Amino acid sequence: MLNPTDKVDVMPKSVRITPEPAQGKGQAVIFMPAIGPVRHLCRLQTTFRARDEAFSCFYKRRTEFERVARARLASSNIEEGVIELAML
């Protein structure tokens, strides 16, 4: 049982942050926005080295990232079933 003073990590199950992205720089955030009745896998490559920074940035701008993901899906800009997004 948790004490009221214990800190609990409340990361949603629909979001994962990979420890090391394939490119070797920055963190990647994996999320699944609901686009219509279906959820699609999206990968956001960030420039942040720290996992906490990437996660914080993602949540501050989540609606913007989801909007861009919907636009990418509408234009059929998908790689191997994954909507790829990158921060500049």
- Spatial separation of the C-alpha atoms in residues 56 and 78, rounded to whole Å: 25
**Cβ-contact 54, 48 below 8 angstroms:** yes
Q: In the chain, where are the structural domains located?
A: 21-86
| Tokens 């998908």, residue located | 78
Structure tokens at 11: 């990361």
- Spatial separation of the C-alpha atoms in residues 74 and 7, rounded to whole Å: 40
Flag whether pLDDT at 2 surpasses 70. no
Q: pTM here?
A: 0.65
Give the pLDDT of residue 81.
86
Report pLDDT digits (tens) over 33-82.
887 888 889 999 998 888 889 989 999 999 999 999 999 988 888 888 89
Would the CA dihedral through 11, 23, 82, 44 be positive or negative? Answer: positive
